[in-house]
Chain A
Amino acid sequence: MTDTPQQSVTATAGIEPGEPSTDVAPAREAAAPARSLTSDAWRQLRRKPAFWFSVVLIALFVAMAAFPGLFTSIDPRQVFDVRQEPSAEHWFGTDGQGYDIYSRTIHGARASILVGILTTVATTLIGGAVGILAAYFGGWLDTIVSRITDVFFAIPVLLGGILFMSAFPSDQSTPYLSVVLKVVAALTILGWPSLARLMRGSVLQVLPNDYIQAARALGASPWRIITKHVLPNSLAPILVVSTINLGVFIVAEATLSFLGIGLVPPAVSWGVAINEGLTFLRTFPHIPLFPSLFLSLGVLAFIMLGDAARDAFDPKSR
């Protein structure tokens, strides 16, 4: 294994200041007699700087989404002089409408995080459930599910999103939550088939194992076999991909908002801000810069987390 020396290097170099060093020793001792895949994965993850970097970033973004007041006291709808350069008063300057960019970027996190998390949860639940049922029961159910996912694969996400959002357009009077839920619905409809496929594949790998046969031979019901034997053994891939997808959904939301059909003003979102800032790309590049930067960092954080989780859950990459 070529990556063993590398890992020991990162393990020694990557002790994070944020990691409570006191509970490491007892935790390791407790883990020694009984190490499950999950506890192994956690030990692996704990040593990765990339994991902690993404966790801190995600925590920051979630805090922004939940309590924007912690970061800024300026109302994102308060108007100042337009197109100011960054200054002590307006850290990121002001945009074409005279809004404070820092405040709007902080408040914009909520839409992205909300869409990302809700869509991920919805796609994982729907895709996971459909995939597991299709694989376990097989037959005509599997055939139907596979054909439906095939159909969805033929629709590009952007095209599908545009179609959905123009079929159910939002305007300024639509309540915030229903705008967000519409975007979530559009992305969920387009996103679940790939997860269903993934789950189906991973369940099909688990099913031939003798412990499934053994469970049947010992009188376990189908429900019990699915929840206790199939699910825990086939969950890792879908969890990893869902984490990565979270970043992808944030991008998709920003794209739809950028095109003016996702979230619409007065809702504040990074996509909307980038769209509005685009006019000033040459003259006042700081206006689109900051929301773009936050968007990239947010997506990066989730994708890095997913990558770290994949490495930890995949025994072959160790």
Chain B
Amino acid sequence: MTTTTQPRGRRDAQATASDYRPGPDGLLLEVDDLHVEFHTEDGVARAINGVNFDLHAGETLAILGESGSGKSVTAQAIMGILDMPPAKIPRGAIRYCGQDLLTMPDEQRRKTRGPEISMIFQDALSSLNPVFPVGWQIAEMFRKHRGMNKSDATAQAVRLMERVQIPAAKQRVRAFPHQFSGGMRQRIMIAMAIALDPAVLIADEPTTALDVTVQAQIMALLAELQEERQMGLILITHDLGVVADVADRIAVMYCGRIMERADVLELYRRPAHPYTLGLLESIPRLDQKGQELSAIGGLPPNLLRLPSGCEFHPRCRFVQDVCRRDRPELTAVVGAAPGRESACHFSEEVHRG
């Protein structure tokens, strides 16, 4: 297949010109003061409380956090696949290439999904339709979004399956999802997500359902594809190990807020938020074998009844009176590298260690 597989071009080389142009410095996506709440029988659950971040072309942003910290909801809000109701976005903006996705007409927004912003899901085992062959499902992207005929689309699907390193792609294009292993299904999901060369790819815990060796392969593949196509990649994960290799920047989320934001190495070297510190300390390490593994005590608070002041204070070991009273904003950490931000009254002290 070496003769037919050509390195697929960047976005500008694509047959269909995009209506969206990234900003001058490659700015693709801007999430501005995003709030999401769920209206339930028990009251209003505030899942996202003012999330800000931006994403540039060729950049990998990792969103890190515990279960229930609002990572996936952020992703779904960006994709516009939140079920509304019960979800509601009372405030905030999500700008893609300068255009607000939230105020865009539904049909226009739907057309951004796939060719502009695309997503990979957590559970590779259930994210493919069981009744259609995988090749058909990949080819569908080309047929519907690009208007290709069946045989061209299938040829493209085979090419993509080869790109995501599925062995014997030509023979397996007609196979059904249940005939693939979990890792292979995730590769197919990736192939579908990158089929239309999206500018932004959101990967929502792409390796959670996979075993460790396959995790590494999938992450390597994602990194490779991102490098090749200069996509902006949002990597949502709770796995600190996964983040370290791949991400450029990290945003740590807790209770629907970004608690700390930093370049990946900076964050690992010197966390500036007690929550990040706790997370880093809870990684099992071989050189500490036999010692007790430290963990962050307690559980994340109920989103229906967020604590006063800093959301993290009930679990924080450095808690002071001011933490119970005032909610710290996400601000630059004094005395740290530029771009370091933390939402803690004592970020400077934590950062100093």
Contact = CB atoms under 8 A, between A and B. Distances in A.
Contacts of A224: 144
A37 B127 CA distance: 17
Nearest to B124: A210
A189 B179 CA distance: 43
Most central of B111, B112, B121, B127 by chain A CB within 10 Å: B127
Contacts of B112: 219
A34 B175 contact: yes
Interface residues of B, number: 33
Contacts of A34: 133, 174-176, 179
A220 B283 CA distance: 40
Interface string A157-192: 000000000000000000000000000000000000
Interface in A70-129: none
B129 A217 contact: no
Contacts of B127: 210-211, 213-214
A233 B175 contact: no
A211 B132 CA distance: 11
Given A217-B79, A217-B118, A219-B113, A211 B141 contact: no
B175 A219 contact: no
Given A33-B171, A219-B111, A229-B129, A214 B144 contact: no
Most central of A36, A213, A233 by chain B CB within 10 Å: A213
A2 to B, nearest CB: 24
Contacts of A228: 129, 132, 140
Contacts of B133: 34, 36
B110 A214 contact: no
A209 interface: yes
Interface string A214-239: 11111111001000110011000000
B104 interface: no
Most central of A211, A214, A220, A228 by chain B CB within 10 Å: A214
Contacts of B128: 211, 214
Contacts, number: 75
A35 interface: yes
Contacts of B118: 217-218
Given A37-B131, A209-B126, A233-B130, A216 B81 contact: yes
Contact of B121 (A35, A210, A219, A232): A210
Count class of interface residues, chain A: 20 to 34
Nearest to B110: A219
Contacts of B121: 210, 213-214, 217
B115 interface: yes
A220 to B, nearest CB: 7
A221 B110 contact: yes
A33 B170 CA distance: 12
A208 to B, nearest CB: 9
A137 to B, nearest CB: 12
A162 B145 CA distance: 53
B114 interface: yes
B176 A36 contact: yes
A38 B130 CA distance: 11
Nearest to B125: A210
Interface in B246-274: none
Given A219-B113, A219-B114, 8 more contacts: A34-B175, A35-B179, A36-B133, A36-B176, A210-B122, A214-B121, A220-B144, A221-B110
Interface of B: 79, 81, 110-115, 118-119, 121-123, 126-133, 140-141, 144-145, 171, 174-176, 179, 189, 192-193
